[in-house]
Structure 1
């Protein structure tokens, strides 16, 4: 049996990155992927992770690693260096791309959360700020991809696919494809990859 458990929520783009990593690194025999509810006081996740967020990787000794990047660090440590997904300090552009995608993911999460509130509780200022941020970063990502970025199947690539997949299915308020043919082509081509196809988020 797998000695480690990776808790996820099907709609989380952060957890999707870790789920794809388990598949890409061929760790299914060592890491079981288990679903957990969020914002639920009875969630099976809470005894391990009081933060209540995913991904959360529970080690065989009970130590729980939370947040996407530390989880990827641990998963990477289980395979030989040549197969690892996180860029190292010798690849600053790849690290920059990964950080840029995660920054956009954070903003999209705030925007989406705001839209789920009753209309009278929403902050137009927050929505406008995050919408502007998303457009600005997406335009930069389009330029990066057009210049040859995201060619490697590394953490930045998987984070980008998870981000665009989240927008596609669960945040249609952001028309991310408009004026971004390179990102659109990258995302569409990615759907044939088994780790991507196996982790598509459900509709809202």
Structure 2
């Protein structure tokens, strides 16, 4: 199997962390690709051109973190990533991540092309979700499931790629969880590069 990823993508990072946590990395060749590039190495495999993209041994192509993580559970890793109790938290964290991604994309546009309404909407959504997650009393796990991995990658994205959001303010429980997850080898090995935003 091949996994196409971009080092700055929190979505691809979640799959890369999951492969390491579940002991499945030896079965997957990771291949970095560019994005929004007509010469991207992922395009012959996926016309979508996004990451993560997982190419199975039979040539089947899976894109999207929300599809790849459940597939990994079918491979017999060290433990299940998506027990039923995790699904609600996964949905919330994916919403948080989507809000940050849209907000970040707006901030990368030239100032005269930015939509203040979109930025305000996504800022509100991101803070609302973070406040909800904080109130849930999230704690650092011994073995991170998909929701924990997604949360660590989302907050890691905020730390290194979307620094416009001061997420630690008012979220001490999330900060403790993130700081614990960030020390795991799987998170250290997949650390995204710093961005100017």
The interval holding the TM-score normalised by the smaller chain is: over 0.9
* CA displacement, residues 45-65 of structure 1 (integer Å, 9 cap, x when unaligned): 011111111110001121111
Rounded to whole Å, the distance in 2 between the matches of 1:114 and 1:28 is: 34
2:60 to 60, 63, 70: 63
Structure 2 equivalent of residue 180 of structure 1: 171
- 1:114–1:127: 8 Å Cα contact kept in structure 2? yes
Residue number in structure 1 paired with 2:44:
47
Question: Aligned to 1:199, what secondary structure does the other structure show?
Answer: coil
Match of 1:87 among 83, 87, 92: 83
- Given that residues 140 and 176 in structure 2 are in contact (C-alpha distance below 8 angstroms), is that contact kept between their aligned partners in structure 1? no
Contact (CA 8 Å) 2:17, 2:190: kept in 1 or not? yes
Of 112-121 and 18-27, more deviation after overlay is shown by 18-27
What is the RMSD of the two structures over their aligned residues, measured on CA atoms?
A: 1.3
Structure 1 CA distance for aligned equivalents of residues 121 and 164 of structure 2:
14
* Paired positions, count: 194
Matched, 1:11 2:8: yes
| TM-score, scaled relative to structure 2 | 0.94
Per-residue deviation at 1:158?
A: 0.2
Instruction: Output the CA distance in 1 between the equivalents of 2:140 and 2:134.
Output: 10
Runs of 4+ in 1 over 3 A off after TM superposition: 148-152
What is the DSSP-based 3-state SS (H/G/I as helix, E as strand, rest coil) of the residue aligned with 2:186?
helix
C-alpha displacement of 1:87: 2.3
* Structure 1 segments unaligned to the other structure (5+ residues): none
* TM-score calculated relative to the size of structure 1: 0.91
Report the Cα distance in structure 2 between the residues aligned to 1:45 and 1:184, rounded to whole angstroms: 34
> Which SS does the other structure have where 1:29 is aligned?
helix
Structure 2 unaligned regions, length at least 5? none
The whole-number CA distance in structure 2 between the counterparts of 1:176 and 1:101 is 14
CA distance in 2, matches of 1:87, 1:110: 28
